[in-house]
Amino acid sequence: MGGNPTLVSANRRECSRKQKLRTQASRVKAIDMPDPKTPDDFQEFNRMIGYPINRNTGKEQELAPYQLEYHEAIQRHHKVIVNKSRKIGITEAGIRSILWNCFRRYRGHDIMIVAGNRVDTAQEILLRFYELIMDKPRLGYAFKDSNGKEWKTSQLVRRSSIYSSHPIVELMNGTRIICYAASNQGKSQSFRGADDVICIFFSEAAHTGMLDDQPIMNALEPNLANRDDGDIILESTPNGRRGFFFNYWMDLKEGKMSSWHIEEWDYNEGLEVGILSQKYIDDQKANIRVDFDQEYCCKFTSSVHAIFRPEDINILPDDAKQPEDYAAIIKNYYKQKMQERDEEFDG
């Protein structure tokens, strides 16, 4: 027997309410937990937890100037959109900035990590966050704070469930980091689970795979409606001339929007500090399957899989009316040319 639907629905709401109250009570208690004493200086903070490993040298490397600029932009402007090259450590810097804030502004609140493509990408970002506070085998603890106290993962993390259907890492101080895949949300955007959001970190925001992905932002932004100091960070390599990331970027560049701070870092930044090697860049340039301008030079080109290239569209006369349906006008253009050719043969 299914029971009375109204009663079942009411019971579910009551269970949800009680669970939410238990969670809130637990988090209020967690806020009283002591935190590590961490440096205010972001470079020093990264020295404390361990610098990123340079994959070319296999050694730790200080954060590059543009990675420090990224962190400072988030603290100063709160709404930041980053157009970036691949493989230059932008996402790494963003994850580390989130951890720095977990002991400051984000303490006791929810952080949403959203990946534009797949849930396993979001889980990978969450795993990279968790690894920053994992015990290091050579030390036996995660890090030593500014007071010289050794902190283990068990003293920092209340629970972690990275590969579950609801991936989450919850810190002892009540901060929760929850991850989502935007591409799985469809037209009905919900992003359930977070109820006290202070930061939204959206990685590969241009790669949702949706023709109309504006509903994603329409669902995300209200989570910060009542927080003037809340952070929303969009970072991505370009992915064609479509989607909210492209639209936001162009509107900001053209002065149609002013509420966001923009940053742009191409491959030269990573090359200059040795994060990328010249050999790797030369190999990528030589690979005809790689849209180098888009992947590494921050250019919004069409996809390498696009049916019509920009140069195909540019064959139209300059004074021709430019409708939105470029495919139709290209088709009509070639049809006209075929008719003219047939008339020449008939003549």
Q: Domain boundaries in the chain?
A: 24-296, 310-346
Closest CA to 100 of 12, 23, 39: 39
Mean pLDDT value across the chain: 86
**Residue 129, exposed/middle/buried by CB under 10 A (0-12, 13-18, 19+)?**
buried
pLDDT in tens, 88-137: 999 999 999 999 999 999 999 999 999 987 888 999 999 999 999 999 99
- Give me the residue label for tokens 């949702």: 208
Measure the N-to-C terminal CA separation of the chain; round to a whole number of Å. 81
Ranges 81-90, 238-247, 328-337: which has the least confidence: 328-337
Closest CA to 236 of 274, 263, 269: 263
72 vs 292: CA distance, rounded Å: 29
Residue type, 129: F
CATH architecture of the domain formed by 24-296: 3-Layer(aba) Sandwich (3.40)
- Outline where DSSP puts E strands in 230-282: 231-236, 261-265
Range 239-264 burial, b when 16+ CB lie within 10 A, else e:
bbebbbbbbbbeebeeeeeeebebbe
pLDDT in tens, 126-172: 999 999 999 999 999 999 999 999 999 999 999 999 999 889 999 99
Please check the confidence at residue 224 and state whether its pLDDT lies above 60. yes
Would the pTM of this model clear 0.75, i.e. be above it? yes
